[in-house]
Structure 1
């Protein structure tokens, strides 16, 4: 389902505002980049942005709502991340390689997203040095976050995993249902309840 003109305009304004906080991007850089965000998506609760076996062709800016990224393993759904307002989301391994995704991305609350195609995004990164520097810094920041998450998962004590996540991402505990946080921390919802 596609967004209304008013919703897409509001989403573009939010994307511009977010990019406006990046010191190295000029107003011209931002306007040129925002023009590429052509795919408008409206997901209802429970609908999927991508499922395993599909290739990821877009990077998305989340305007509203809440999404979870999970890996289906047998009857289990292992939560590996979340997307919420003013964040970027996609099945990143698929976006980078062009191969089929192993992950699902599902709306937990109604979602409005803007998408940029992989060729448009990669072309812009190659052509715009300012944006290339910004994107490299974002990748580095996300890599540090992934390493922190790996450390969390290696800790045998659930209380340590909980404390580290609470310190690093306290907003998750206000936005995300408990059962998905428990999955993300690789513990049962009951264990998470005891720790809280």
Structure 2
């Protein structure tokens, strides 16, 4: 990764963290200093494949990625990562077991990674970072519950409407076939509803 891209990615991470009102400058500095793993992915490259163990949490500096579960007959899209978001195969990251999921770039992407060990050290030593982590986990849980509600709705139009309300930006970032998979409908159904 060119030095200029790495500097820009670190600056983007710093800018994101500086927007958190309870993170002091020293907390931001300590957190940013631990993101040692730059990753550059071309379109269709994998960040992680099933059976690999996730050892890093990533900040997406640029690009779009999909999280999916490969099953015998299809690839079920379960989420997306895009600029300004944190991303990993979370069950694998937390439990240290092989991932069931794959994470693949939908376009060229740049990420920064922080190791699980560094995250745990920061959570123990920096209460404000622990609060940030807890807040991010709460948001993730709320998002997962909203997604479960979406999947329980029998009407495809309601699933689509809820996604449009919650995450309208996805329609500019993600190809329709992956949005259709995420909504558990065919691409044809999505086209008809749109």
**TM exceeds 0.5?**
yes
Matches within 5 A, 1:66-105: 66-105=64-103
Q: What's the secondary structure of 2:106's corresponding residue? A: strand
> Aligned Cα RMSD in Å?
0.5
Matches within 5 A, 1:71-150: 71-150=69-148
Question: TM-score with structure 2 length normalisation?
Answer: 0.99
The match for 2:46 among 40, 45, 48 is: 48
Q: What's the secondary structure of 2:7's corresponding residue? A: helix
In 1: Cα distance, 2:68 partner to 2:165 partner: 22
Q: What's the secondary structure of 1:41's corresponding residue? A: strand
Give the aligned partner of residue 33 of structure 1.
Answer: 31
Which aligned segments of 4 or more residues in structure 1 are displaced greater than 2 angstroms?
none
Deviation digits for residues 17-66 of structure 1 (CA, Å, limit 9, x no counterpart):
00000001011110111000000100000100000000000000000011
In 2: Cα distance, 1:46 partner to 1:176 partner: 13
In 1: Cα distance, 2:61 partner to 2:39 partner: 10
In 2: Cα distance, 1:186 partner to 1:113 partner: 28
- The CA deviation at 1:160 is 0.6
- The CA deviation at 1:75 is 2.9
Structure 2: segments with no counterpart, 5+ residues: none
- The CA deviation at 1:6 is 1.0
The match for 1:183 among 166, 178, 181 is: 181
Residue 31 (structure 2) pairs with residue 24 (structure 1): no
- The CA deviation at 1:134 is 1.3
Structure 1: segments with no counterpart, 5+ residues: none
Question: TM-score with structure 1 length normalisation?
Answer: 0.98
- The CA deviation at 1:142 is 0.9
Count of residue pairs the alignment pairs up: 194
